[in-house]
Structure 1
Amino acid sequence: MKKQLMACAAFALLTACSGSKTTTAEADKFDYTVEQFADLQILRYRVPGFENLSLQQKELVYYLTEAALQGRDILFDQNGKYNLRIRRTLEAVYKGYGGDKNASDFKAMEVYLKRVWFSNGIHHHYGTEKFVPGFTPEFFRQAVLGVDASTLPLAEGQTAEQLCDELSPVIFDPAVMPKRVNQAAGEDLVLTSACNYYDGVTQKEAEDFYNAIKNPNDETPVSYGLNSRLVKENGKIQEKVWKVGGLYGPAIDKIVYWLKKAETVAENQEQKAVITKLIEYYETGDLKTFDDYAILWVKDLNSLVDFVNGFTESYGDPLGMKASWESLVNFKDLEATHRTEIISGNAQWFEDHSPVDKQFKKDEVKGVSAKVITAAILAGDLYPATAIGINLPNSNWIRSHHGSKSVTIGNITDAYNKAAHGNGFNEEFVYSDAELKLIDNYADLTGELHTDLHECLGHGSGKLLPGVDPDALKAYGSTIEEARADLFGLYYVADPKLVELGLTPNADAYKAEYYTYLMNGLMTQLVRIEPGNNVEEAHMRNRQLIARWVFEKGAADKVVEMVKKDGKTYVVVNDYEKLRELFGELLSEIQRIKSTGDYQAAHDIVESYAVKVDPVLHTEILERYKKLNLAPYKGFVNPKYEAVTDVNGKITDVKVTYDEGYAEQMLRYSKDYSNLPSVNN
């Protein structure tokens, strides 16, 4: 498949190596940390440079942020058909409970609600397994029955008791909807996934439905199934499209309302055309219109302010077709963008010198643009947890014919770094002072370069052979695509060309990225996995696939070893040059799999290297990590934007503040941006 979200190595999110894009004085004044609970840490991010935007640009950002927030309920419903009802029920209890709010059951329910907010539903945002509540069914029933029934999301004619009976199994029974996205080989991935993209259909029926409407000779295919729920009603399988007047219509109406306001203050005609076409897509639900919008968006290179708004990434669909709703509003960091412009300006050189077979390379790389951006708002599937790098659009033919946009989100990376400075992670898991010195000197730089190469060039590299279905790899497509882009970045971060271009200071800097990547892929990302579970999330599978493959293939020469020191396991890299060769060999094979649509090879390499977890090593890593009192997952509260108006209602300024708390923001969003009914979405 073709997904580009969350390209960053998990190592960056776990350790957030110290970097500095804000001055020490600024960092001292800004509190990046909000709170920590369960396995989550909530952070803030700054929006430096917003005050320097013109009034028109500020107004544009304001309208686009409102359009972003209006889609919040869509993702909750996409992630599971009971999510909105559960969220609203728990919020009613949280606000209206008359008992002891310091009691253990209430405190446990509060943590559960905070996790539901974070994951946009009752399943873990990354691992996709259902949360285990720390409160009892008895407490839940007593608490729900104790609040004003008018505050509960009751269906027509339903009582509070009946609401409890309906929701309790979903919350408390581990056998009910256990996984939001199931990727276990050999199972019906549609029937065993709790996501709300299918209703009444099996995996085979879904695949047969879309195979029947695809034209293998179509060189510019639409993204089939991207913006719809596939349902079976009265024995007939059909799509219910997400659009104005269709499914999710009440939320999309509000999104369109604010997009139309943004249209009036667009920076230029190109940007206005983008917004106009997006509105048309929302109004019609037509996927050809979506492609037209994507092409216009790719070609809009002169606007300072930019945005993503829509059904974009399909990681939440076990078949990798249907897209979750997300939005990101941003503006270009002109100074930091210089780095990515150098990379994108040399795109053809990188393509030509790639170690993959010539038949899988692009003869001409078109339209590669890259920039570092400052996020103004995160929403939908980019909130509270977000990527630090994005490459869009996902359509292979659009990328080939028209190019793509790649972004690195500078202020988000900066927030991770500032919040995690000196957390002890490296000292616990890095083998020796030699590697620590490499990381201290170069990890920030090489980590950013790897993300840039992954997003700017990796996803845009290579090509499908004529007639190959973009969805040929099915459930393995996302993992293969992320591995392809990661390997492209790994191979080239060590290339002398980067020193020649002034992107790395010397020929040894890349070793910091190689070491941290392998340490993460072989060991430390396991802190995100519950004991006894396999690796299921596509990005984690990608990293383990790469790390385990090069570890095995280089075993005879001891290229990479896992050694014991003082009873603890560490990664040791003995031959960095040979390691780069192995990355190149694997990139060549992964590109072949992608280009030819070799499903069996994708299945074999993913199942062999990316899925299984060593339980002994896993236990050790979890015990070591626990002692650090760190949270393996991080997310953000957004800044708050307020329009300043004159007596006639004309906007004269837009103010941004950073003092809103996590629960405060979530409850405000639930109050101001609840656009969908609790049932029958």
Structure 2
Amino acid sequence: MKKTICMIIAAATFSTSVEISAAEKNFYSVEKFADLEILRYKVPGFEDLTPKQKELVYYLSQAALQGRDILYDQNGKWNLAIRRTLEAVYIQYKGDRNSKDFKALEKYLKQVWFANGIHHHYSTDKFKPEFSQNFFVQAVSSIPAQSLPLKKGESIKDLLNDITPVMFNPKIMTKRVNQTEGEDLVATSAGNYYDGVTQAEAEAFYNNMKDPSDPTPISYGLNSRLVKRNGKIQEQVYKVGGRYSEALEKVVYWLEKAAAVAENDQQKAVIEKLISYNKSGDLKEFDEYAILWVGDLNSDIDFVNGFTETYGDPLGMKASWEALVNFKNKEASRRTEIISNNAQWFESNSPVDNRFKKENVKGVSAKVITAAILGGDSYPSTAIGINLPNSNWIRHDHGSKSVTIENITDAYDKAAQGNGFAEEFVWSDTERNWIEKYGFQADNLHTDLHECLGHASGKLLPGTDPDALKAYTSTLEEARADLFALYYIADPKIVSLGLLPTADAYKSEYYKYMMNGLMTQLTRIAPGKNIEEAHMRNRQLIAAWVLEKGAQDKVVEFKKKNGKTFVVINDYDKMRTLLGELLAEIQRIKSTGDYEAGKNLVETYAVKVDPDLHKEVLARYEKLNIAPYKGFINPVYTPVKDSNGNITDVKISYDEGYSEQMLRYSKDYSPLPTYND
């Protein structure tokens, strides 16, 4: 299964835009806490939509927000109980709200909101409360019992007995997604996709369901929780009438309203098929929906809604709930249309073995979009590019859709102005000038190429299991897409197509990628930890492999200046050649399902961290006072109605704060019961 959400740290770190005013910068940057910064994003062009299109966006945004609780529960079985308890304390606590303990509880709650649970959204390590357990017990006990998420017949003491060990004991539910080689990844992961089963049992359950001769296999396990009850393993399917029914009923309600104002019959058919799938839970219907969705190229409004990406499952099969509502940025989409129109040329001329290339690239479409609402696993932290669907056979037979979310990258860019990052970590004025001139354009083009062509390229050989690479699938797939983008961003074809202005423009992306993969992304890792997140592993794999293979010719090297370590690229042409060689190897691994070779690449290059370099990078980064992780609050959409209750317009506003939005969402979009066993 392909994993296709791309997240690029450079987008949140560098600024290459024209200087903006302090007031405008303050619009984008809302607040900082822990290792996080909350940003706003603008939705340019919303006012230019027709009233009917605005109404459609509104309905789809409501459907997007109704699934919020689903993700909390998927991320951990106690998350809803903990969040609702913390919110009750935050709202009703009558003690000293300026005390150190209360301020620490407020910070912890903000982290839980950001991560959709008690584990860090990126490292997946459990948060450590900075308030005492005694304070927490006292605070919870001081507020009315009816304000708390109590089980029927249970007391506040019972609630505390349930959740305090989960919150305060570091040995309980330590990591949401464990990827440590040699361990039972299911038993040691705190995510709520499995209950009572081991990794071996889960793998055997789904392997027994698969038919190797089936050319159109469903995405086994995508929309279910696997549990053992009375010694029998079974799936709890996410559907109306099944698991998460209360939330999915709300999602369906708003999707039905959206279908009534669809832009065209094709879009209406897409929405109606998604409704039908949410009611049945049948993964064959999900494939039918995906085929309709990828074929809808004429609508301006588009969306993702449902169980989509599988990063949260240590086995890479079960999908988290996410949503994105967007509309096409027609002017910016000209570059992605150029890429799509030349997809066959890129495929035919790639450096991979001809056996693994698509002879006839079908249905590759790409566009630049404006995000209108973020939801589920796309909120508050979101991708800057998406390529779907994930099913290999659908991609081969029907194509794929790729998007670059340019109002999100623009918000990152604006918020990063004047942060001093380039001055601290970039080797010389030469590289800084490249980044200043071409960085924003090259970043967006990298995302376009990664999503539109990288994930859409190549094919599996007949009989290859799409899940053959197991826990390494995500890392290797993201590496494959990144390598495709990096290899081609330096091709003369890019300049001839007018996608970059000069033959040197790609060097800004090469430099940033190597610097990030070898050094600066380490700001996201705690001292002594290995790299586990798939995108980070992907970037270090590529950068470390190129560093090692090009060492004899010093293609890329570390150099010291004023006692500080820097990345230096001495030969950009040779670096591109090496990228092509690695692309060819990873495509071979994917196409043939060579698990051992894939495992060896990841474990050799992608996991381990140089502790001395790590310590240096953290110290230099700390002085800049930059939050390594960023996320967004959504705009607020308010419908305008006539005397008959019909929506005549939708107004957009940007003045809601982070805590204000999170508490409103918990009040208005919280249909699930606290306990979902």
Pairwise same-fold verdict (TM > 0.5): yes
* Structure 1 residue aligned with 2:176: 180
1:474 and 2:432 are equivalent in the alignment: no
Match of 1:419 among 407, 415, 424: 415
| Whole-angstrom CA distance in 1 between matches of 2:457 and 2:108 | 42
Matched residues, percent identical?
Answer: 70
* C-alpha distance in structure 2 between counterparts of 1:240 and 1:158, whole Å: 26
Instruction: Tell me if the contact between 2:14 and 2:422 (Cα under 8 Å) persists in the aligned partners.
Output: no
Amino acid in the other structure paired with 1:155: K
Partner of 2:17: 19
Residues 619-674 of structure 1, C-alpha deviation per residue, up to 9 Å, x if partnerless? 10000000000100000000000111111101111001000000000000000011
Distance 2:493 2:536 in 1: 29
SS of corresponding position for 2:91: helix
Q: Is the 8 A contact 1:11 1:524 kept in 2?
A: no
Task: Give the whole-Å Cα distance in 2 for the aligned partners of 1:504 and 1:251.
Answer: 45
Per-residue deviation at 1:11? Answer: 1.7
1:125 aligned residue (107, 116, 121): 121
Distance 1:25 1:48 in 2: 18
Write the distance in 1 (CA, Å) between the matches of 2:26 and 2:178: 40
Deviation at 1:680, TM superposition (A): 2.5
1:227 paired to 2:223: yes
The residue identity in structure 2 corresponding to 1:290 is: F
SS across alignment from 1:313: coil
User: What code does the residue aligned with 1:10 have?
Assistant: I
1:638 counterpart residue number = 634
- Tell me the CA shift for residue 30 of structure 1: 7.1
Q: Does 1:94 align with 2:90?
A: yes
CA distance in 1, matches of 2:405, 2:214: 35
Match of 2:67 in 1: 71
Structure 2 CA distance for aligned equivalents of residues 137 and 276 of structure 1: 49
What is the CA distance between 1:29 and its match in structure 2? 8.7
Greater shift, 156-165 or 450-459, is seen at 156-165
- Aligned runs of 1:239-258 on 2, under 5 Å? 239-258=235-254
Aligned equivalent of 1:9: 8
Q: Distance in 2 between matches of 1:107 and 1:600?
A: 49
Query: Which range is displaced more, 162-171 or 659-668?
Result: 162-171
Amino acid in the other structure paired with 1:386: T
Residue number in structure 1 paired with 2:262: 266
Partner of 2:308, secondary structure, is: strand
User: In structure 1, what is the Cα distance between the partners aligned to 2:429 and 2:196?
Assistant: 57
Q: Following TM superposition, by how much is the alpha carbon of 1:26 offset from its aligned partner in structure 2, in angstroms?
A: 12
Letter in 2 for 1:2: K
Counterpart in the other structure of 1:363: 359
- 1:569 is the counterpart of 2:565: yes
1:434-513 equivalences in 2 (<5 Å): 434-513=430-509
User: Which residue is equivalent to 1:38?
Assistant: 34
Letter in 1 for 2:11: A
Measured in 2, the distance between the counterparts of 1:222 and 1:89 equals 39
Is 2:237 the counterpart of 1:203? no
Equivalent residue number for residue 676 of structure 2: 680
Q: For 2:357 and 2:22, how far apart are their aligned partners in 1?
A: 46
Q: Indicate if the aligned counterparts of 2:303 and 2:323 stay in contact, CA closer than 8 A.
A: yes
Instruction: Sort the Cα spacing of 1:464 and 1:569 in 2 relative to 1 into closer, same or farther, 3 A.
Output: same
Shift of 1:17: 2.3
Residues in 1 aligned to 2:494 and 2:17: alpha-carbon distance in whole angstroms: 20
Separation (CA, whole Å) in 1 of partners of 2:7 and 2:576:
19
Q: Residue 404 of structure 1 aligns to which amino acid in structure 2?
A: S
- Number of the residue aligned with 1:383: 379
- Distance in 1, matches of 2:191 and 2:490, equals 40
Contact 1:116-1:123 at 8 Å conserved across structures:
yes
Q: Find the residue that maps to 1:372 and give its secondary structure.
A: strand
Per-residue CA distance 1:165-212 (angstroms, 9 max, x = gap): 111110011100000000000000000000000000000000000000
Consecutive aligned runs of 4 or more in structure 1 exceeding 6 Å deviation: none
Report the Cα offset of residue 25 of structure 1.
Answer: 7.9
Conserved 8 A contact 1:320-1:477:
yes
Please tell me the residue identity of whatever aligns with 2:278. Answer: Y
User: Compared with structure 1, are the counterparts of its residues 412 and 500 closer, same or farther at alpha carbon in structure 2 (3 Å cutoff)?
Assistant: same
Q: Which residue of 1 aligns with 2:514?
A: 518
Contact 1:383–1:635 (8 Å) recurs in 2: yes
Measure, in 1, the Cα distance between the counterparts of 2:210 and 2:262.
Answer: 37
Displacement of 1:9 in angstroms is 2.4
Specify the SS of the correspondent of 1:31.
helix
CA contact (8 A) 1:9 1:517 kept: no
- On the 8 A contact 1:87/1:121 being kept in 2, the answer is yes
- Separation in structure 1 between the aligned mates of residue 298 and residue 668 of structure 2, nearest angstrom: 33
1:344 to 340, 350, 354: 340
C-alpha displacement of 1:16: 3.4
Give the Å deviation of 1:444. 1.0
Aligned equivalents of 1:26, 1:251: Cα separation in 2: 41
> CA separation in 2, counterparts of 1:387 and 1:17?
18
Deviation readout 1:498-519 (Å, 9 max, x if unpaired): 0110111111111110000000
Number of the residue aligned with 1:314: 310
Distance 2:338 2:140 in 1: 58
Q: Deviations over 1:203-257 (max 9, x none)?
A: 0000000000000001100000000000000110010000000000000000000
Is residue 54 of structure 2 the alignment partner of residue 55 of structure 1? no
Whole-Å Cα distance in 2 between the matches of residues 632 and 382 of structure 1? 18
Distance 1:46 1:27 in 2: 14
CA contact (8 A) 2:14 2:421 kept: no
Report SS of the residue matched to 2:208.
helix
Instruction: Look up the equivalent residue of 1:238 and give its one-letter code.
Output: Q
Q: Verify: 1:214 aligned to 2:213, yes or no.
A: no
Q: Shift in Å at residue 564 of structure 1?
A: 1.0
CA contact (8 A) 2:20 2:414 kept: no
8 Å Cα contact 2:25/2:414 also seen in 1: no
Question: CA, structure 1 residues 653+29, in 2 after alignment: closer, same or farther (shift >3 Å)?
Answer: farther
Task: Give the CA deviation at 1:24.
Answer: 5.3
Please say if residues 356 and 458 of structure 2, whose CA atoms lie closer than 8 Å, have aligned partners that are also in contact: yes
Contact 2:25/2:415 (8 A) holds in 1: no
Residues 314, 321 of structure 1: 8 Å contact kept: yes
TM-score of the aligned structures, taking structure 2 as reference length: 0.99
Counterpart of 1:183, as a letter, is Q
Q: Are residues 1:428 and 2:424 paired?
A: yes
What count of residue pairs does the alignment treat as equivalent? 677
Amino acid at match of 1:599: Y
CA apart distance, 1:482: 0.1
- Name which of structure 1's ranges 253-262 and 30-39 shifts more when overlaid on structure 2: 30-39
Structure 1 position 116, deviation (Å): 0.2
Aligned CA distance change for structure 1 residues 221 and 94 (closer, same or farther; 3 Å)? same
Aligned-residue Cα RMSD (Å) equals 1.1
Are 1:398 and 2:394 counterparts? yes
Match of 1:422, SS? coil
Preserved contact between residue 559 and residue 573 of structure 1 (Cα < 8 Å): yes
**1:162 and 2:158 are equivalent in the alignment:** yes
Code of the aligned partner of 1:410: E
Q: Distance in 1 between matches of 2:254 and 2:439?
A: 41
Show CA shifts across 1:266-323 (max 9, x none). 0000000000000000000000000000000000000000000000000000000000
- SS of aligned partner of 1:484: helix
* Corresponding letter in the other structure for 2:538: N
Residue 85 (str. 1) matches residue 84 (str. 2): no
When the two structures are superposed, what TM-score results if normalisation uses the length of structure 1? 0.98
